[in-house]
Homo-oligomer: A and B are copies of this chain.
């Protein structure tokens, strides 16, 4: 039986592996079907991880040293896709993988992240990480003193537009409806912000650019006319899929308590409602979706898992 199974190989899972093995757990496996590193490896530049001070550091170059470091103390990486985590009456966890096999574990740390929804316009994937972003906190500063466009009309889109308005000269908020599904106070703040322009009832057709990156966005308005907005940055906030599938049981319920939006409920110790099960990174409630925060979650969860395993 594993001392600890870690599901997901992003910053949270890797750091959990580092702390769990360095803290003396001996049978620790990180399940990650792809290459470890997580969503950040798609970023063209990272400058807000404390200690990562190189200029023009790509997400991929940033994460590569983590793999060796986090496996230095005995963490094993299993390239398998976890389909489900279940829990036996005896208190053990069972890790089900897509090859039909199962492994038992005394404790489980999940960190499978979340996936921003795609809007589906032309150029969205081609320019992702080169002008198209899904994280204002991460990438907003790269457009300091420039104009950007934001796509979306929910709370996150509006909050991110407000965040960007403090950094950028102009923010054009493009929304396919005529009104917002967001809290009244956020809408009020948005409308009171001088450098945010609203383009409502508009469909995004295309993000265009050249080999250097994005140059602008083309939208179709309510009257079927087309408008081009010249911006080097386009932020898409039309929703987020929490990767919580591994916690879903055969009867449709989840292994632990979740928020209405599908994130895992945790406390400051990253404990879920089920003893021995910890949740970390972008999949847990109130996640700030930053590498340093996911890494911290992994460390916290591993220290708790060590104490949990030791106590049983």
Residues on A facing B (Cβ under 8 Å): 11, 14-15, 18-19, 22-25, 47-53, 62, 65-66, 68-70, 72-73, 137, 140-141, 159, 162-163, 166-167, 185, 189, 266-269, 285-286, 288, 290, 292-293, 295-297, 299-300, 303, 306-307, 310-311
Contact = CB atoms under 8 A, between A and B. Distances in A.
A159 to B, nearest CB: 7
A261 B165 CA distance: 41
In the A-B complex, the 7 residue pairs with the smallest Cβ-Cβ separation, listed nearest first, are A24-B166, A296-B296, A268-B286, A293-B296, A53-B65, A24-B167, A53-B69
A159 B307 CA distance: 8
The oligomer's copy count stands at: 2
A25 to B, nearest CB: 7
B23 A140 contact: yes
For the residues of A in contact with B, the DSSP-based class is: helix
A286 B69 CA distance: 26
Most chain B beta-carbon contacts within 10 A, residue among A19, A47, A48: A48
Nearest to A73: B141
Contacts of A292: 15, 292, 295-296, 299
Nearest to A168: B24
Given A22-B48, A51-B51, 9 more contacts: A11-B50, A19-B137, A23-B137, A23-B140, A48-B299, A49-B51, A51-B65, A162-B310, A295-B296
